[in-house]
Structure 1
Amino acid sequence: MIIGEVVGTIVATRKEERLVGLKFQVVKVLNVDLKPTGQFLIAADAVGAGYGEVVLCAQGSSARLTAKTKDRPIDAVIMGIVDTIEIEGKVVFEKYA
């Protein structure tokens, strides 16, 4: 799984039929300490994430296992919105802090 931050949206008015109804987000990939890796993902949003939110993503065949993405031709999915990250007993991220 991948931690990232939603930094944009992709709009495609014409797309493969199985992609209709999905929202696509640009996700900046982060290290576990929330520093950017320099990589980005285009991910189908299965949870309604908003701009600036820290999210949990999956890639590859795992991306096609959510209720909204099953059997769809995608390579990445946003499958969770992160509330808290704790490492070695220390909270390093808290959404509502």
Structure 2
Amino acid sequence: MEIARVIGNVWATKKDQKLNGLKLLVLKVLVDKEREKEGLIVASDIVGAGVGDLVLISKGGSARRAVGNIDAPIDAAVIGIVDSIEVFEDE
């Protein structure tokens, strides 16, 4: 799993039928609590996340199982909304 920030939505009128009914979000994956990786990913949302939310994402086969369709052509799924992050670092 990884943590990401929702920065937008994706709408596609023409798409694989197995994507019908899935909400698609644009995400920036976090490197650490303050910084994001370069690039964007698109993930299917099964928890009702919105723009600005920090979310947990699962990738690959786990993502397909999470949406309940192992044949869905997705690489990532939003599987949780993060309430807070607590990181303890040695000084």
TM-score (norm 1): 0.83
CA contact (8 A) 1:6 1:28 kept: yes
Distance 1:38 1:80 in 2: 22
Aligned to 2:57: 57
5+ residue gaps in structure 2?
none
Conserved in 2, the CA contact under 8 Å of 1:57 and 1:79?
A: yes
Moved over 6 A (4+): none
In the alignment of these two chains, the number of paired residues is: 88
Verify the 8 A CA contact 1:46 1:69 in the aligned structure 2. Answer: no
Seq. identity, %: 43
Greater RCO structure (CA 8 Å; 6+ sep): 2
TM-score (norm 2): 0.88
5+ long unaligned stretches in structure 1: 90-97
Other structure's SS at 2:34 match = coil
Q: Distance in 2 between matches of 1:63 and 1:80?
A: 12
After TM superposition, list the pairs within 5 Å mapping 1:30-69 onto structure 2: 30-66=30-66, 68-69=67-68
Displacement after TM superposition at 1:52 (Å): 0.5
For the aligned residue pairs, the C-alpha RMSD in angstroms reads: 1.4
- Name the SS for the 2:73 alignment partner: coil
- Listed one character per residue, the Cα deviations across residues 15-54 of structure 1 (whole Å, up to 9, x for unaligned) are 1111100010000111232311113210001111000100
Question: Aligned equivalents of 1:48 and 1:38: distance in 2?
Answer: 25
C-alpha distance in 1 between matches for 2:42 and 2:49: 13
